[in-house]
Amino acid sequence: ETGVTQSPTHLIKTRGQQVTLRCSSQSGHNTVSWYQQALGQGPQFIFQYYREEENGRGNFPPRFSGLQFPNYSSELNVNALELDDSALYLCASSLGGQHTGELFFGEGSRLTVL
């Protein structure tokens, strides 16, 4: 059983650019959630995707968008990057609709915006 994998692990962008982060969910999981973790803080919920549709969104602006594909992998896109977007972006997968609450995280993508 493969775990949650994310790519790239590290990347550097400049303000105003766009970035795409990718996530492959754990085998058998159909739900992907994205979290932003600023340095020294707890992760903050960005949004969740279930069966290719957004299924809940946190307090993030529309320039944060996502996709989920038929194989349940997912992308997080951030447009018009700002300095405050520098953070560890975490993907978590789960089995939606089972009410277990169990989410399993990947290692994250460390984004630095200069």
Partner 1 sequence: QQQVKQSPQSLIVQKGGISIINCAYENTAFDYFPWYQQFPGKGPALLIAIRPDVSEKKEGRFTISFNKSAKQFSLHIMDSQPGDSATYFCAAIGTRFFGNEKLTFGTGTRLTIIP
Nearer to partner 1, 75 or 107 (CB): 107
44 counts as binding partner 1 under rule CB under 8 A: yes
Binding to partner 1 by CB under 8 A, coded x per residue (else -) over 23-42, reads --------x-x-x----xxx
* Contact (Cβ atoms closer than 8 angstroms) between residue 47 and residue 64: yes
Q: Which of residues 73-102 bind partner 1 (CB under 8 A)?
A: 90, 92, 94, 96-97, 99-102
> Binding of partner 1 at residue 45 (CB under 8 A)?
yes
